[in-house]
Amino acid sequence: MKKTLLFISLLILSVLSTQATRPKYVFYIIGDGMGINQVNGTEMFYGELTSKTGPLPLLFSKFPYTTFVSTYSANRGVTDSAAAGTALACGEKTNNNTIGVDADSLPIYSIAVAAQKKNIPVGIITSGEIDDATPAAFFAHQINRNNRYEIGVDMLAAGFDFYAGDKFTQPSPEGKKSLYDMIPKANYTLALGIQEYNRQSQVASKMILFPQKDFPYAIDRKPGDICLADLTRCAIDFLQQKGNGFFLMIEGSKIDWAGHSRDGATNFREIKDLEESVKLAYDFYRKYPDETLIIVTADHETGGVVLGNGNYSLNLQALQYQTMSGIAFTKEIENLRKQNTEISWETIQKALSHAFGFWSKLDLSPEQEAHLKKIYEETIHNQQGDLIKSLYENNEPIAEAAKTILNEIAEITWSCSSHTAGYVPLYAIGLGAENFQGKLDNTDVPLLIARIAGYE
């Protein structure tokens, strides 16, 4: 009898000890499209800005545990965001273009749902659309990632405590009830902007935070524009009020967007911008080091960026002179078209100088200048030619040419404008971070988090 009681006592102590060593707060941070070379490129770029030879490390690249993650999907060697997001959310491979279902199209459930079932407050935030593939993988079950209205319905049905990102892309298709009308009936309070969040967060039981305007790229941000770090602060504030810890997924979506458009300066600034949210998570970890786990990873690599062109040199500091994204420059050209019946080459040169530093900060070769002038003659002076499309942008040909030339000057190249099968990095710090060692598959990541945090 004494032996039995001793065994039971030891078992209880073992369980209590295990529970005490579980992280109470989990930050799951995903840089969409953030491959290894893009992280390295960001660090090399900011290193060059300080006259340093070599990288200036990002905060998360100094985390004590670092490894590599494979990203292939169930039916393709190169994944898309839907399948990769599902793998990172649910721990299971699925087919490209599908969200929150397995390879047989049957629903599967995410680590966020597992946390919710343990009465852990859950937040999902993104700098892209809230109904896009990666955030949707945590709450939706759709055989087509483009079912944006249905993803919105799934989002409200999932009932997580806090959502934030760009607005619904299909809020009210013809013949269907508006998602905005469904928000209060699902017990959510909608805030448009940080000021509305501050007014309503103390009395809201569940919260949706949308910006008043669309999220800009970090390179295009103006004073007063909302950013991912703003959403991160609000999410931490709201979820912590709930008590019982929290699970927070943070996605930096526009790293991927800039990769698809092969925009080096914009891509590196998006990664640097994601670091601002990582810093907030890290500050939280410093307050609660024995209760917090932070994971920073990516769903896939976009664009296949290569640093250097074979001559053993880089000129990444040239990227500092780009002051706007390709899509922002396209809008400038659109405005010039509206204002003028004829746009002179000198006007375009001035615009290119302001946006990319050409002539004022950076010298162009005769061939580069001739190429820009040829595109001007064809597409602006003679008004011929279509916009050049990438997955998220439709840009003026001269904007695309300017980005290409700036990449040439910086001596970086892009292998493609889509995803690759390249490994992505993973960085971990906090309680249980030592479990993230050795080469991993993307399906391993949420399963490890669930085991460490006790969501199983």
Domains of the chain with CATH codes? 24-306+417-453 (3.40.720.10), 315-410 (no CATH)
Annotated binding-site residue? 444: no
Specify whether the backbone of 78 is left (phi greater than 0), alpha (psi in -120 to 50) or beta. beta
Residues 6+ apart with CB under 8 A from 364: 358, 372, 405
Cβ–Cβ under 8 Å, residues 97 and 82: yes
Cα–Cα distance measured from residue 254 to residue 402, given in angstroms and rounded to the nearest whole number: 20
What are the backbone angles phi and psi of residue 314, rounded to the nearest 5°?
-135, 160
Cα–Cα distance measured from residue 394 to residue 396, given in angstroms and rounded to the nearest whole number: 7
The helix/strand/coil state of 338 is helix
Annotated binding-site residue? 419: yes
Q: Give kind and range of the element (H or E) at residue 345.
A: helix 345-356
Residues 6+ apart with CB under 8 A from 43: 55, 56, 57, 58, 61
CB neighbours (10 Å) of residue 236? 22
Annotated binding-site residue? 79: no
Give 181's strand partners. none
Answer whether 0.85 is exceeded by the pTM.
Answer: yes
Annotated binding-site residue? 378: no
What are the backbone angles phi and psi of residue 325, rounded to the nearest 5°?
-75, 170
Annotated binding-site residue? 134: yes
The helix/strand/coil state of 397 is helix
Output the six-digit token pair for 385: 């030619």
C-alpha angle 63-84-107 in degrees, rounded to nearest 5? 125
Q: Give kind and range of the element (H or E) at residue 343.
A: none
Annotated binding-site residue? 363: no
Known catalytic residue at 17: no
Annotated binding-site residue? 408: no
Cα–Cα distance measured from residue 430 to residue 294, given in angstroms and rounded to the nearest whole number: 6
- pLDDT tens, position by position, for the chain (456 residues)? 444 444 334 333 333 344 458 999 999 999 999 999 999 999 999 999 998 889 999 999 999 999 999 999 999 999 999 999 999 999 999 999 999 999 999 999 999 999 999 999 999 999 999 999 999 999 999 999 999 999 999 999 999 999 999 999 999 999 999 999 999 999 999 999 999 999 999 999 999 999 998 899 999 999 999 999 999 999 999 999 999 999 999 999 999 999 999 999 999 999 999 999 999 999 999 999 999 999 999 999 999 999 988 777 889 999 999 999 999 999 999 999 888 778 999 999 999 999 999 999 999 999 999 999 999 999 998 887 788 888 888 999 999 999 999 999 999 999 999 999 999 999 999 999 999 999 999 999 999 999 999 998
Which one from 61, 81, 201, 261 is the annotated catalytic residue? Answer: 81
